[in-house]
Amino acid sequence: MQQDLVHAIKSNPKYHEMVSKRATFSWLLAIAMLAIYYGFILVIAFNKQLLAQPLFAGPPASVATVGIPVGISVILLAFLLTGIYVYRANTVFDKLNNEIKEEVL
C-alpha cells in the first residue's frame, strides 16, 4: 500500500510542479543571501575604509562606524529572506501539497 501511495504522488503532475517551484524559489533566495553575505565580506576584504568611516561627522567623532548598521542589515536581510520563504511555503507550496493529497487520497 505504501509503495502505491508513493507512486501515485510521484506520478501526479502537481507534485512535479511543486518540487520545481520550491527548488527554483529556494535557490533564488539562497543565491540572494550568498550575494549579500559575500558582498559584505568582499567589502571588508578590499575596502576596509568604507565600513570604517564614522557614522556621524563632527567635532565629537562618532564611535560607531558605517560597518555596524551594514552588518546589522545583513542579519536582518537573512531574517527577511527566511520570512519570505516561510510565507511562500505556507501559501503556494502548502496549497499545492493539499491539492496533491486530495487527488491521491
Q: What is the pLDDT of residue 69?
A: 95
User: What sign has the CA pseudo-torsion 37, 40, 46, 52?
Assistant: negative
Q: What is the pLDDT of residue 1?
A: 65
Spatial separation of the C-alpha atoms in residues 40 and 20, rounded to whole Å:
30
Nearest to 54 by CA among 70, 44, 68, 66: 66
The number of distinct structural domains making up the chain is: 1
Q: How many CA atoms lie within 13 A of 95 on its CB side?
A: 6
pLDDT 10s digits, 12-64: 999 999 999 999 999 999 999 999 999 999 999 999 999 999 888 777 767 88
76 pLDDT higher than 70: yes
Domain residues for 19? 2-104
